[in-house]
Amino acid sequence: MFLVVHYKKGAQSCKTKLKKEQDKYDAENIATLLNTYYDRRNAGAYSQKARANNFKKQVETFNYLQAKGINTLDDLKEAASQMGDQVSDMTKSLRTDEARARELTDLIRYAENYQRIKPIYDEMNGIQWKKKREKYRQEHDGELRLFYLARRELEEQVKGGAIPLSDWRKELKTLQTKHKKDYEDLKAIREEARKLYKIQKNLESALHPERELRSRGPER
């Protein structure tokens, strides 16, 4: 007898949980929330044109979410969160590429200055007479300062080896091409993320209208 009662209680508990889950699904179903949200918008619409525009937006939003396999508010939250994470990851990757591009730009400038001014440096060192060499140095002081700076910066990179100027130029060009494409991709994904977050906010206001009223404050 105890087993039978226990089984009935367990079955009833299971049914209750299933009903709660079904009720939650029904309440947070995208179609239901869209209907609720746009019904409220239509209640405040002043013209048939405005209501027709609301209906068009409702259909477009529903089809957009369905195409993404989004059926509930939880699905929408998950999709928006994933899109936000993707935007964050892509932004970090772009920042890394931008930092490397700036570094390469500096290295290329140093290498070009080094190669351009090296003959002046060599000529100065080839002058035997000290006064004449000092006069030559003063005449080319600005260029030689650039040379010493370039040599110091390049030594930290090449460690006595050959200056890979050609490789740096190729890497910079590749980064610039990649950056242009990645930036366009980021703009598109960021726009889609904003769209999903906006829809999420609208549907949450349909599910919890009291929150929207609190955020607006008392009407005057």
Give the tens place of pLDDT for each residue, 124-167: 999 999 999 999 999 999 999 999 999 999 998 988 789 999 99
Sequence-distant (≥ 6) Cβ neighbours of residue 143 within 8 angstroms:
117, 120
Of 107, 193, 114, 199, which Cα lies nearest the Cα of 156? Answer: 107
Question: Quick check: is 76 in a domain?
Answer: no
Binned at pLDDT 50, 70 and 90, residue 44 comes out as confident
Whole-number pLDDT of residue 99: 97
Q: What is the Cα Rg of the chain in Å?
A: 34
Contact predicate 58/34, CB 8 Å: yes
Reported as half-sphere exposure (CB side, CA atoms, 13 A), residue 9 has a value of 6
Question: Quick check: is 58 in a domain?
Answer: yes
What's the N-to-C CA distance of the chain in angstroms?
Answer: 65
Domain that holds residue 35: 1-71
Q: Give CA separation, 183 vs 3, 168, 179, in Å.
A: 65, 22, 6
Residue that is last in its domain, among 71, 93, 117: 71
Quick count: other Cβ atoms within 10 Å of Cβ 34? Answer: 20
Residue 133 and residue 154 share a domain: yes
Q: Which residue has the higher pLDDT, 75 or 44?
A: 75
Burial (CB < 10 A; 0-12, 13-18, 19+), residue 179, is middle
Question: Quick check: is 219 in a domain?
Answer: yes
